[in-house]
């Protein structure tokens, strides 16, 4: 876990550029090793949230809030709690939300493997680009399902192994060693099996090494 904190602390100044492809080098990196559009995937996942949503939403891990801030601006009647293990990422998210005046969004440091919330507390759980970093992925799946209400929505996206060789290479040779990704990783088949264990309805979508999903408990 300390390795993860160190990794995300060291990358806090380039994290947003990589994910949003806002620099020429980040566009090249995404094109060579991933071949997908993170921005489009994020828009799709966030589009699963009803525009008139008024319940409780858990965002774990929130990262820097780069993908979610604009959506949260529109969800003024929702109660949104953002959790991240990395204090560096969380502090950047806090600054973004503060600058936008999002008083209905709260940030707190926490571990997805041991969420500090009661059973069936949230109406929606959102997890974008997190599960490939979580050390105990099964526990993370268990906890995110535990805190979600019956009939609630679990949405998100993450890396899956075996979907795209260039992605598998960069993950195993670089990202895992640096601490940004944490093995073991699941295949699409394994991911579907885990989700169907927790959720009554599972919709999966893939592009190369990325999977995004919409599940109902």
Q: What is the C-alpha to C-alpha distance for residues 97 and 142, in angstroms, rounded to an integer?
A: 28
Pairing mode, if any, of strands 210-216 and 148-159?
antiparallel
Supply the pLDDT for residue 43.
Answer: 96
Supply the pLDDT for residue 7.
Answer: 46
Supply the pLDDT for residue 22.
Answer: 64
Supply the pLDDT for residue 29.
Answer: 79
Cross-strand bridge partners of residue 56: 79
- Whole-prediction pTM value? 0.92
Sign for the pseudo-dihedral over CA of 134, 126, 42, 90? negative
- Closest C-alpha among 123, 113, 151, 131 to residue 191: 131
Supply the pLDDT for residue 32.
Answer: 86
In the chain, domain spans: 2-216
Q: Which residues contact 4 (CB under 8 A, 6 or more apart)?
A: 85, 86, 133, 135, 179, 182
Supply the pLDDT for residue 8.
Answer: 52
Supply the pLDDT for residue 6.
Answer: 59
Q: Which CATH number is correct for 2-216, 2.60.40.10, 3.60.20.10, 3.20.20.70, 3.40.50.150?
A: 3.40.50.150
* Number of other residues whose CB lies within 10 A of the CB of residue 168: 17
Supply the pLDDT for residue 34.
Answer: 93
Q: Is 154 helix (H, G, I), strand (E, B) or coil?
A: strand
Q: What is the C-alpha to C-alpha distance for residues 198 and 165, in angstroms, rounded to an integer?
A: 29
Supply the pLDDT for residue 26.
Answer: 72
The H-assigned helical ranges of the chain are 2-10, 15-20, 24-33, 38-46, 69-74, 87-99, 137-146, 165-170, 176-178, 188-198
Q: Which two tokens stand for residue 87?
A: 């204090």
Supply the pLDDT for residue 139.
Answer: 98
pLDDT one digit per residue (tens) for the chain, 217 residues: 555 555 454 555 556 555 666 677 777 878 889 999 989 999 999 999 999 999 999 999 999 998 999 999 999 999 999 999 988 889 999 999 999 999 999 999 999 999 999 999 999 999 999 999 999 999 999 999 999 999 999 999 999 999 999 999 999 999 999 888 999 999 999 999 999 999 999 999 999 999 999 999 9
């Amino acid at each position: 876990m300390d390795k993860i904190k160190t990794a995300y602390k060291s990358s806090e100044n380039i994290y947003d550029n990589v994910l949003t492809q806002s620099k020429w080098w980040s566009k090249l990196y995404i094109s060579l090793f991933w071949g997908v559009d993170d921005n489009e995937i994020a828009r799709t996942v966030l589009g699963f949230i009803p525009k008139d949503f008024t319940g409780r939403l858990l965002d774990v891990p929130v990262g820097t809030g780069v993908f979610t801030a604009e959506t949260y601006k529109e969800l003024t009647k929702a109660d949104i709690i953002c959790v991240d293990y990395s204090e560096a990422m969380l502090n950047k998210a806090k600054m973004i939300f503060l600058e936008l005046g999002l008083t209905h969004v709260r940030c707190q440091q926490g571990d997805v493997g041991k969420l500090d919330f009661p059973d069936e507390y949230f109406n929606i759980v959102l997890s974008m680009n997190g599960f490939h970093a979580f050390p105990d992925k099964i526990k993370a799946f268990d906890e995110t399902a535990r805190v979600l209400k019956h009939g609630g929505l679990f949405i998100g996206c993450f890396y899956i192994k075996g979907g795209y060789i260039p992605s598998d290479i960069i993950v195993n040779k670089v990202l895992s060693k640096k601490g940004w990704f944490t093995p073991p990783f699941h295949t699409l088949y394994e991911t579907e099996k885990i989700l169907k264990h927790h959720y009554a309805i599972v919709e999966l979508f893939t592009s190369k090494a990325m999977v995004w999903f919409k599940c109902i408990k």
